Amino acid sequence: MVEFPEATWDCLAAGIPFFSWRWLHQLEASGSIVPRQGWQSCHLGLWRGEQLIAAAPLYLKGHSYGEFVFDQSFAQLAGQLGLRYYPKLVGMSPLSPVQGYRFLIDPSEDPAEITALMLQQVEAFCRQQRLLSCNFLYVDPAWQPLVEASGWAPWVNQQSQWVNPGFEDFNGYLASFNANQRRNIKRERQAVAAAGLQVSPVVGEEITPALMERMHYFYGQHCSRWGAWGSKYLTEEFFTSSTADLRANLVLFSAHLGDPQEPVAMSLCVHTPDQLWGRYWGSEMEIDCLHFEVCYYAPIAWAISRGIRQFDPGAGGSHKRRRGFVAEPRTSLHAWFEPQFDAILRRWLPGANIEMGLEIEAVNGELPFTASYDPPHA
């Protein structure tokens, strides 16, 4: 990232913290996203003279971890055809399955023209390096047609999302559920209170280096519980450096017995004035329903109090549906540079996308809302 001017990059990337210069820089500078971990930064910049007019966060990947768009079946197919699947080129904010990836283009430029030009450069690079594929993950829906116009193939997956229709308080959120689920949520919150715990949001100057060190501990502990499936990608340095560089967009939800600076469990979220993203959590106590309180209910209450429009709780977890998170389609865009491989996947994708649409519809048809409540979509 040091090759790019921070202020100019951030003007191009305005809106989503995960694509800001400092977020991407800290991932690299902290040793979290580096070649020895299977991530080689390969960012593309388009300059007019000395002025950066467009950029694309890109990474050469030696594996498929940390993407949350699961293409291992593609890798298996490549092996069956005698093709090398890795390395591949990926466009995303590393480790963050957040919708909004696009080329970062100066608003005074023609987005269609610049996108087509940059795609030509990406394809030329991939062919020169003999890469099998390039993949843009969790793309911005407004940018998607510009890429599809160049022949890139869409692959639809799903992700949970909570959209605030304008609740005045947490009770308004509760009222959207049927009676049975309202009782369940109240019971889950009471279980945490009965353990003597309070959950408090921590923002701004209250986010100290010591608290971020504690967050890293919780993060690592949670990852270790999954054993071989753990996803411990971020170093302690990423958390501690975030204290100053990223603090304006962070909120911690501290579960504590007295002092929020001495948590027994905690989650880390990222926010803007209208959106909240859940990222990491961990606990040193096994308390029934604590995960739901720290990662869902307390953040939702905080989001409502601040008028935040959307809450993306992160990847995975069918249990999110029971807490009011709606399944939403998420599209990735792909180009494959070997004719047989490309032809096979392009034949498969339309049917797979239809099936995913039906699955999303079925999932949302079983959400535990009242008959009169129509959950809004993003």
What are the residue ranges spanned by the domains of the chain?
A: 6-157+328-364, 165-308
Q: Is 6-157+328-364's fold the same as 165-308's?
A: yes
Query: What pLDDT is stored for residue 179 in this prediction?
Result: 97
* Environment class of 300 (CB within 10 Å of its CB; exposed 0-12, middle 13-18, buried 19+): buried
Between vectors from CA 170 to CA 166 and to CA 176, what angle results, nearest 5°?
65
**Cis amide linkage into residue 260, ω under 30° from 0:** no
What pLDDT is attached to residue 316?
73
Instruction: Name the packing angle between helices 236-245 and 21-29 (round to 10°).
Output: 150
The pLDDT, as a whole number, for residue 319 is: 84
Q: What is the pLDDT along the chain (378 residues), one digit of tens a residue?
A: 889 999 999 999 988 999 999 999 999 999 999 999 999 999 999 999 999 999 999 999 999 999 999 999 999 999 999 999 999 999 999 999 999 999 999 999 999 999 999 999 999 999 999 999 999 999 999 999 999 999 999 999 999 999 999 999 999 999 999 999 999 999 999 999 999 999 999 999 999 999 999 999 999 988 877 654 456 789 999 999 988 889 999 999 999 999 999 999 999 999 999 999 999 999 998 899 999 999 999 999 999 999 999 999 988 777 898 999 999 999 999 999 999 999 999 999 999 999 999 999 999 999 999 999 999 887
Under CATH, to which class is 6-157+328-364 assigned? Answer: alpha beta
Adjacent-strand bridge partners of 283: 265
Residue 230 has what pLDDT?
A: 52
The angle, 0 to 180 degrees and rounded to 10, between the axes of the packed helices 339-364 and 72-80 is: 150
Would you list the DSSP string of 239-292?
HHHHHHHTGGGEEEEEEESS-TTSEEEEEEEEE-SSEEEEEEEEESS--TTHHH
Please identify which residue in the block is written with the tokens 């940059």.
118
Distance of CA 64 to the CA centre of its chain: 15
Tell me which fold the domain 165-308 belongs to. Answer: Aminopeptidase (3.40.630)
pLDDT for 199-256, tens place per residue? 999 999 999 999 999 999 999 988 877 654 456 789 999 999 988 889 999 999 999 9
pLDDT at 227: 54
Phi first, then psi: give them for residue 121, nearest 5 degrees.
Answer: -65, -40
- pLDDT score for 226: 62
